[in-house]
Amino acid sequence: MNEALWYASRAAGIASVVLLTAVVVLGTVVAGRRRPHDDTATVAMATHRWLSLATLAFIGAHVATAVGETYVSIDLISVLVPFTSSYATFWVGLGTVAVDLLVAVAVTSLLRHRIAERAWRAVHWATYALWGFAVVHGFALGTATEPLLRWTTVLCGVVGLGAVAWRANVTTHDRERRRILAHQEWS
Amino acid sequence: MTRTDTLADLLDAAGLAGRGGAAFSTATKVRAAHAHGADLIVNACDGEIGAAKDGWVVEHHLPELVHGATLLAAGRRRGILFAAHRNSRTAGILRAAGLDVLEAPSRYVSSEESALVSLAHGRLARPMTKRVPVATGGRDSRGARIRPTLVLNAETVWRVAQIAERGPDWFRALGTPAEPGPRLVAVSGFVAAPQVLETQAGVPVRALLEAAGGLPPGSPAVLVGGLGGAFLSPDEAGRLHWSRESLGTVGAAVGPGVLVVLDPWTCPAEAVSQMLTYAAGESAGQCGPCMFGLPAVAREWDELVLRPSRAAEERVRRRLELLPDRGACRFPDGVARFTGSALRVFGSHLAVHAAGACGYTSRRSDPRVVVG
């Protein structure tokens, strides 16, 4: 039983990283004024939302099984309070921080129509950080000797960074015009 | 809190209204400024297309202008700023006189009231959203406090000195009861003798044009008030008077006192196109109706000139409805008015133009040449 939990935790963890990366990549696509405005927009946005719910489920499973199995000791407190685990304090702690941030992102997203757009947006930016923590956490604690798993995490990191770089550099009509006008003589 | 403000009362009695374009009561503005201990900026930028009168005041009546500014500053020790475009002749004269010059970049919106206040605060010369009058202070869009600043047009400040010296009765003896006092009008463009005229409200527009050499035969229109103004057909220029009431019948206004006569060779549709292109490039990139709306108007106007149709005209009209009342300043409002009047005055020419029978020999020329 314990062995099953251990494997389940590993599997849910790697699935979480893959799903989370997919959600982040979709997020960079639908974010800001550059988002597509036709049917693709609806599909991309819906996929981003539903996939993020699936991610929550897998992360939930990953955390529950990690606490449940007893090969290494991670207690309930370490689920929410970072850097309290006796096992791999720092690397588990990174995962905990990611979970905390994820809870904030998920809650604000569920309450999106009830809170200020600005507040939702500010919290949503934390996704980039939590994704980074999650990938590092996954890479550091990926104990399997199977190279496929390790390379999956690395690939997720590369793809995610690529998406972030794209979002940071891609220009929009709006941004471009503001930039050009701001560079003219105004003082 | 009511304090007696002798100068404001005097200006009230004279009925002085701002000569920068908005024609707002100077007494009201001065009263608010004095109550808030406002700084003073004398605006001599002549920012509108064809404007020249404020430079004229600086050149010919500088001692009176400085006296007016001193009266308005009411003994405040902080320096009075005189705003003029960088490297302009006006800036040179002001500097040579030892005055504090606020040098604004030569941009259309940079001489707007709140843009000058922003510049005086060491920020960019771009208009600010005014939640309260700048004469009472307020905050900028980032929440930083703005010092209360009274911004008055140079001609207005000169009039203050004159009223203080000669009294409100002298002032009211000129002009009309609704728009009293002497006023300046700059006539330029295709006229024999471009000049700044000392005149008053109520005179025929034709008389102003004749003083500068007259409307040349074949001139398609006269532009009143520049990019924020309106076109008059030659017929309208012949029968209307220089007053809010008369000019208002065709959507024009006395504004900042500018008349530009279009030349008889340049196609007016093309001239408007060039002015709209210029306008689109003058946006400060802050407000949607300006940074996107003005280029859209310019584009759609070109489209209309190239292929006139009911639909193309309707597109321009609908676009113009989206511009007013939405910017930090009134630039989009002004361009909407300007373009609307171009549709009105040149509408019949657009059809002729499209049929290939434009008749005007010159299609393109430098807008500065066209509009003087």
Measured between CB atoms, which of B105, B123, B291 is closest to A181? B291
Binning pLDDT at 50, 70 and 90, where does residue B142 land?
A: confident
Residue-wise pLDDT for B33-67, tens only, equals 999 999 999 999 999 999 999 999 999 999 999 99
Task: Show the tokens assigned to A165.
Answer: 């770089």
Please tell me the predicted confidence (pLDDT) of residue A36.
66
Q: Which residue of A has its CA nearest to B110?
A: A186
Lowest mean pLDDT among A162-171, B75-84, B310-319: B75-84
Residue-wise pLDDT for A69-95, tens only, equals 878 778 888 888 999 888 889 999 999
Locus of tokens 């000019």:
B247
What distance in Å separates residue A120's CA from the closest CA in chain B?
20
Q: Do B285 and A185 touch (CB under 8 A)?
A: no
Q: Do A186 and B107 touch (CB under 8 A)?
A: yes
What distance in Å separates residue B109's CA from the closest CA in chain A?
10
Contact B181, B217 (CB under 8 A): no
- Residues of chain B contacting A184 with CB distance shorter than 8 Å: 107
Contact B327, B290 (CB under 8 A): yes
What distance in Å separates residue B282's CA from the closest CA in chain A?
9
Contacts of B184 (CB under 8 A, 6+ apart): B19, B53, B56, B57, B155, B196, B197, B198, B199, B257
Question: How confident is the prediction for chain B on average, in pLDDT?
Answer: 92
Residue B106 φ then ψ, to 5°: -80, 65
- Residues of chain B contacting A175 with CB distance shorter than 8 Å: none
Q: How confident is the model over B123-152, as a mean pLDDT?
A: 91
What distance in Å separates residue B175's CA from the closest CA in chain A?
38
The answer on pLDDT for B363 being more than 80 is no
Q: Closest Cα to residue A18, out of A107, A151, A166?
A: A151
**CB contact B119 to A (< 8 Å):** yes
Binning pLDDT at 50, 70 and 90, where does residue B367 land?
A: very low
Q: Do A178 and B285 touch (CB under 8 A)?
A: yes
Measured between CB atoms, which of A180, A182, A185 is closest to B105? A185
Measured between CB atoms, which of A177, A185, A187 is closest to B285? A177
- Tell me how many residue pairs between chain A and chain B have CB atoms under 8 A apart: 26
- Residues of chain B contacting A186 with CB distance shorter than 8 Å: 105, 107, 110, 124-126, 284
Please tell me the predicted confidence (pLDDT) of residue B368.
43
Contact A141, A92 (CB under 8 A): yes
Q: How confident is the model over B5-28, as a mean pLDDT?
A: 95
Contact B94, B84 (CB under 8 A): yes
The answer on pLDDT for B79 being more than 80 is no
Please tell me the predicted confidence (pLDDT) of residue A42.
86
Q: Do B291 and A185 touch (CB under 8 A)?
A: no
Please tell me the predicted confidence (pLDDT) of residue B241.
97
What distance in Å separates residue B60's CA from the closest CA in chain A?
28
Please tell me the predicted confidence (pLDDT) of residue A173.
78
- Residues of chain A contacting B83 with CB distance shorter than 8 Å: none
- What percent of chain B has pLDDT above 90? 84
Chain B interface, best mutation among A178, A185, A186, by max B CB count within 10 A: A186
pTM, two decimals, is 0.78
**CB contact B292 to A (< 8 Å):** yes
User: Residue B199 forms beta bridges with which residues?
Assistant: B183
Chain A interface, best mutation among B116, B119, B123, B291, by max A CB count within 10 A: B291
The answer on pLDDT for B365 being more than 60 is no
Give me the helix-helix angle, B53-60 and B89-96, nearest 10°: 30
Q: Do A182 and B107 touch (CB under 8 A)?
A: no
The answer on pLDDT for B268 being more than 60 is yes
Divide the 187 residues of chain A into consecutive groups of 10 and give the mean pLDDT of each group: 88 95 93 71 90 96 90 84 90 95 96 92 96 95 80 95 91 82 88
Contacts of B306 (CB under 8 A, 6+ apart): B354
Q: Which string of b and e fits B343-353 if b means at least 16 CB within 10 Å? A: bebbeebbeeb
- Helix, coil or strand: residue B294: helix
C-alpha–C-alpha distance, residues B268 and B282, integer Å:
21
Please tell me the predicted confidence (pLDDT) of residue A35.
62
**CB contact B278 to A (< 8 Å):** no
Q: How far is CA B173 from CA A43, B14, B162, in A?
A: 73, 10, 13
The answer on pLDDT for B331 being more than 80 is yes
Q: Do A185 and B124 touch (CB under 8 A)?
A: no
**CB contact B126 to A (< 8 Å):** yes
Chain B interface, best mutation among A33, A173, A179, A181, by max B CB count within 10 A: A181
The residue ranking higher by pLDDT, B348 or A155, is A155
Residue-wise pLDDT for B195-207, tens only, equals 999 999 999 999 9
The answer on pLDDT for B366 being more than 50 is no
Residue-wise pLDDT for B157-186, tens only, equals 999 999 999 999 999 999 999 999 999 999
Q: Do A184 and B107 touch (CB under 8 A)?
A: yes
Strands (DSSP E) found in chain A: none
Q: How far is CA B281 from CA A162, B65, B108, B285, B290, in A?
A: 35, 33, 9, 9, 10
Lowest mean pLDDT among A6-20, A22-36, B126-140, B269-283: A22-36
Locus of tokens 């062995």:
A3
Q: Closest Cα to residue B258, out of B3, B38, B47?
A: B47
What distance in Å separates residue B50's CA from the closest CA in chain A?
22
The answer on pLDDT for B127 being more than 90 is yes
Please tell me the predicted confidence (pLDDT) of residue B371.
42
Contact B85, B104 (CB under 8 A): yes
Q: Do B110 and A180 touch (CB under 8 A)?
A: no
The answer on pLDDT for B3 being more than 90 is no
**CB contact A178 to B (< 8 Å):** yes
What distance in Å separates residue A183's CA from the closest CA in chain B?
10
CB-hemisphere CA count at 13 Å for B50?
31
What distance in Å separates residue A174's CA from the closest CA in chain B?
9
